[in-house]
Chains A and B, each alone.
Chain A
Amino acid sequence: MTRFLIQRFVQSLIILVLVSVIGFFVLNLAPGGPLSQFSLSPGMSQAELDRIAAQMGLDRPLPVQYLDWFGRLLGGDWGNSFRDGRPVLEVIGGHLPATLLLMGSSTLVSVVIGGWVGVLGAIRRYSVFDYLATIGAMIALSIPTFWFGLVAIYVFSLELGWLPAGNMYTIGDQSLSDYASHLVLPTLVLALVNVAIWSRYMRSSTLDVIGEDFVRTAQAKGLSDWRVLRDHVIRNALLPMITLAGLQLPTLLGGALVTETVFTWPGMGRLFLDSLGYNDYPVIMGILMFSAVLVLLGNLLADLLVAVVDPRIRIS
C-alpha cells in the first residue's frame, strides 16, 4: 500500500510541475505578460518599461524566469492583486469558504440523490425507472448549467417568489435560515449535472458488484434483500465512487464558477470572473493555479482514502 501511495505522490508532483509549466506559458500569453500592470497604464515610456522589466528580471531567459516564478509559487508568494494590492493567496482565501460551502452542499445532494437513482436503476435494470433515469441523466448533462440557473431564477424567484435570486445573504439579516434559503437554488443547479454523473457511475458500479460471488453467498446465507443491498452491494459499489469524486473535482469547480456567476455568489468563481474584467492577472493566474493544485490534492486524497478503505489494496 505504501508503495502505491508513494508512487501516486511522486506522480502528482510530476503533474504539478507540468501544471506549473502550462500556467507559466498561459501567464506569458497575457497582453503585456507579467509587465501588464505597468504597460497598461498610460504615460509609461518604453524606457521606463524596460527599466522595470529589468528590475523584475524579465530580461532573463525564460527558463530562469520560470524557475524563479515556480519557486515563489512554492514559497507562498503568489504576487499581489492589481486591484487592491492584497496578496493573491489572501484574496483567494477570502472567497474560498463560499465556494467550498456551495461545492459541499451540492456534492452532498448529488451523492445522495445520484447514488440512490443509480442503485435503483441497477437493481431494476431495464425498467421504466431505469430508462427514464438514463434519459434524464443524458439530458441533464446536455443542458448548460447557467441556463438551468436562469430558468430556476425565473420560476422560483421571479414567478413564484419562493427563493432569493442571488447573493449569499440579505444585508441586515444574516440568520441561518437566510443563508439556507440563499443556498438552495445554487446548490440544486450545481447538483443537477453531478446527480446525472453520479447516478450513471453508481449504476454501473452497482451492476459490477451485483454479479460478484460474495453477493450470491450473502443471499444464500438467507439475508434479507435489504441487508444484502445495504451491507454487501452498496458498500462495495461506493468504493469506486471515492475515486470518481476526485476525478469530478475539475467539473465541480468549473460548474461552481458558472453557478456563482448566475447567482452572484461571492465565491472563487465570481472572483475569477471579476478579476478577468479588471485584467487582474495575478489573481487570475492565482485562481487557475490554485484550482489545479486543489484538483491534484483532491485526487491524491481520493487515492489515499481508497487505499485505506479498500481491503484489496490495504493488504497487497
Chain B
Amino acid sequence: MQRYLVKRIFQMLIVVFLALTAVFFMQFLAGDPVILLLPMDATFEEIAEMRERLGFDDSIFVQYFRFVSRALQGDFGPSLRHPQTAIQLVLSRVPATLELALIAVVVSLLVAIPIGVISAAFRGSWFDQVAIVVTVFGQAVPGFWLGIMLILFFSVTLEWLPTGGRGELNNLILPIITLTAFYAARFARMTRSTVLDVLNTDYIRTARAKGLSERRVLYKHALRNASISIITLLGLQLGQLLGGAVVTETVFYWPGLGRLLVQSLLNRDFPVVFTGVFFIALVHATLNLAVDLFYLVVDPRISYD
C-alpha cells in the first residue's frame, strides 16, 4: 500500500509538471503580454524596454529554465497586472470556488441519487420517463442561457433574488440552481444506469429471495455496489468544479478561480495562468488519488497491495 501511494504521488507530480510545461509553451501562441500592459500611445522603444525588463526578450529555453527553477521553489512571480503575487491572487479565489463547488456537488447528489434510484426501481414508470426528460434537459441546456433566464425571472421579474455577487446566502441560490441543473442530471443518469445493472445481478435476486424489503435491497445492497461509478464521476466533477465553473462565475459575477483564469488568459497575465493551472492540476491529481483510495472503503474486494 505504501509503495502504491509513493508511486501514485510520484505520478501526480509528473502530471502537474507536464501540465505546467504544456501551458508554458502554449503561452507563446497567445501573443505578447507587454502590449496589453502599456497605453496605446506607447512607442516601440517603450515596448521593447518593458519586454526586456520582464524577461520576455530572452529565448524560449532561457525563459523555460527560469520558469522551472522558480516554480520548483514555489515562486510563480508577481502578477503582470495586479499588485499581488500570482499565488496570492489564486489563493484569494479558492474560498469562493470551494464554497460554490462543494455546495453544488452536495446539492446535486442530494437531488440526483434519489431520482436515479427511484427511476431504476420503477423503470418505465411515469416518474422514470419524467426524470429522463428532465435530466436530458438539464444536461443539454447551456449554463449560460439557464443562468440568464434565472436572473430574468427571479431577479428582474419577481425581484426575489440578487442578480449575482457573493457574500450572503441568497447570492448562492441562482448559481447553485444553474450548476445543479447540469451536475444533478449527470449524477442521476449515472445512478439510474448503474443501479439498473446491479438490480439484474444474482445477489440482488438472493437478497429479495431472503425476504428483504425493497427499500433495503435498493439502498443497502444495490446503491452501495453502484456507488463505485458514482464516486468516480464525483471525483471528476468535483475536480472540474474546483477548477472554476467559468460560465456560472461569469454570469453571476462570482469571484472564483475560473473567472480569474479566463480574465488572466485574455489579459495574458501568464504568471497567474501558470499558478491557476498548477492548482487545478494538483487538485485533479489529488482527487483522482482520493477516489482510488475511497474504492477500498466501499468495496472490500479491491486491494492495492
Please determine whether chains A and B interact with each other in the same assembly: no
A residues lining the B interface (CB < 8 Å) = none
